[in-house]
Structure 1
């Protein structure tokens, strides 16, 4: 099947959860025999990559963020209309703005499409009147995938969608499992990720001597200073390639995601579980759906420093408990989020879309 995937930004020029997931998904679909084309924004400094699928770089005016997005959307629409006879199904990563492009292209050409809510494209956009209208239009028009039952419940309560279904992220399962002593965080160093909450929770604990923070962002300097002030021995690694994240997970005893808002179903959580790490995470977006509380990790309320501290200490102080929880987490990911499982569900949706 000829599958077109639209995603606003793409590795290696941009590395984020949606972008990394899209690249791995395109590889998995290509490996399953599909002809995949990824349509993404051009930056004028693209790095040539050897991939088993085609990448179409969409031109845009980069004089400002607004102009870049607007011209990208117009050019993307034109390119998809041009290529309509070569597309069996259009998969729009993020309901805003790519999902709305799918709606327009569908009405112009009849190409079947669906969209995918990834987290930030919904939670950070739905209160803007214009973006809310665009999101509602897509929800009323086509199938929209979400990453968890929690996100589905949020969307259904807020709108009156036609068809919202749950399909989580896919994850590569490493051959080995983690065997270290560190507390590991992977993510952007922005306020919504809650790293400051984590550092305050760890202050004065035994676990404060072994913290690895993987990622970069606007809050990095502030967080480094806070760690020093609190006496938390945190190593700030900076941004690393997605393929290198596993090296840091291998050093862990547990993984922590202390986000305060705005999550879908983070790749980092599933990758940590696939590596055999128990997870302590906050109940934001669809995070709680991936964790069996008390079995594969713990879920706490966002911003609850004391509860976060208690749960981290419970696992960190008991190596046997950590190992058993990590083994259960790995088994769950293999059964539910391996690429074989995800591709099979996508293929069923492709067949349904093209039969409509």
Structure 2
């Protein structure tokens, strides 16, 4: 990308950071361009196309309107047809270029991406005139009036705060992580010392012999490591986090996370993530649950200890429990000797009673991720598919 593009649309990791560029080339990413007419979306789209020549671009040919929610669905028929083709052909980079002012349309696109296992990046040009309706009236190809643009601006200025921010695993890394979880559970299920201790701590209503894989059959669809739970802006101080410079600078950036342990409790299966100094910048200091989840006793643990990837949950257990289970195990490691210690191929497996086991890995597992947000519909049953 030329320097002239950077000056016009702003600095983005997916255009200027070499590590991110190489990661996105092997990822499966849906770019959703968002902004008022004339704000620079077309220039941004062209810059992405230059950087990723094999990418697929989908754009509406219809002029923008103030209330997209009331328009006929034919407006996006051609765009959606192109998207379906791109998903089917497994295009690594797909770009949707439109105003995307209406929540209904964004919901549709993010749902399509999740159904096809794509990471969503909602990006807007950072041009100086992006909110200046008088300037936009002279920039837009659609010859819109200042009044029409002001009407659209009301929708656009609704800042999009996701359900949560986090590092989302690339498809290949997610597959490898799931395989590691499967192997971990299989190994445990073949260990008499584990089964003897663990089975007494769980509810197993079947008449069949206890099956660890069947017990943990509730698995997340999207593997990720949450940084900040926002609940679409309802959580206190989440707006400050969402609008912070560190989030703005790192949104869409690639990170390699280090998984240093796998753990299992009667409630959850997870992977402990050890954050480096750059990753810690995205970890909120007020992260809920860093005190162990009880709100009373401060956990004397390193900053970011709750960082994890949820791999599976027991029936009726929410994924948010995984982080709390990890903190509890780490607190036990600080002040209690394990009741069982077993050396296995990948490290040392320790038990702290009550079905709490952790495998500290001799060699960390590296997973490639992109930092983004999770954008489900507010009406979707999301507790089954995400972990915080």
TM-score between both structures, scaled by the size of structure 2: 0.28
Name the structure where helix makes up a greater proportion of residues.
1
Bigger radius of gyration among the two: 2
- The higher-RCO structure (CA 8 Å, 6+ apart) is 2
TM-score between both structures, scaled by the size of structure 1: 0.30
